[in-house]
Amino acid sequence: MIDKKTLSERDICTKFITPALEKAGWDKQLQILDIPCVNSSNGDGFLFHDRTARDGEIEAEISLDDFPSPDQLWQKNIQILTVPGINAFGSVTEIIQAFGSREAYEKAIKELENELYKVA
C-alpha cells in the first residue's frame, strides 16, 4: 500500500481519483454535469454530497470503486422533476421535451440554480 502522505495532490489524482472516475464511465476530460451533487476525495474514497436526497442522507462516503457513472448522476438530476409542484407540469419526459433537448433543459436548470444562489 502506498503512503499517500508522501504523494503530491497531483499524484493522488493521477494514481487514485482519475482511475476511479474513468472506471465509473467518465471520459478523460471528466465531463461536468450541471446537477446538485458535489464530490470530494482524499484518494482513499469520495465524500458524496447530494442535495436531492430525500432520505436525510445528504452526505455519504463512497469507495473509489463505487463512484457513480454519468447515467447514475443524470438519474439523480431528473429526480428533481418528480417533486410535488414541479410534476404538475407533466412527466419527466414531457418536461424535458418541452425544452426541446436535454442540453436546453440542462442549461435552463443551471440558469435557475444560479438565480436561486443569488437569493440564498
Q: What is the pLDDT of residues 71-91, one digit of tens each?
A: 887 777 777 666 677 767 777
18 in helix, strand or coil?
A: helix
Residue 34 clears pLDDT 60, i.e. is over it: no
Burial of 27 (0-12, 13-18, 19+ CB in 10 A): exposed
Nearest-10 Cα torsion for 82, 85, 86, 92:
40
Amino acid occupying residue 26:
W
What residue ranges define each of the domains in the chain, with the CATH number in brackets? Answer: 4-119 (3.90.1570)
Higher local confidence (pLDDT), 32 or 2: 2
Determine what percent of the chain is predicted with pLDDT higher than 90. Answer: 3
Q: For position 30, what pLDDT does the model report?
A: 47
Show the cell assigned to 50.
447530494
Average confidence score pLDDT of the chain? 78
Residue partners of 77: CB distance under 8 A and separation at least 6 = 33, 34, 35, 36, 52, 106, 109
The DSSP line for 64-111 is: GGGPPPHHHHHHHHHHGGGSTTTGGG--HHHHHHHTSSHHHHHHHHHH
Q: What is this structure's pTM?
A: 0.50
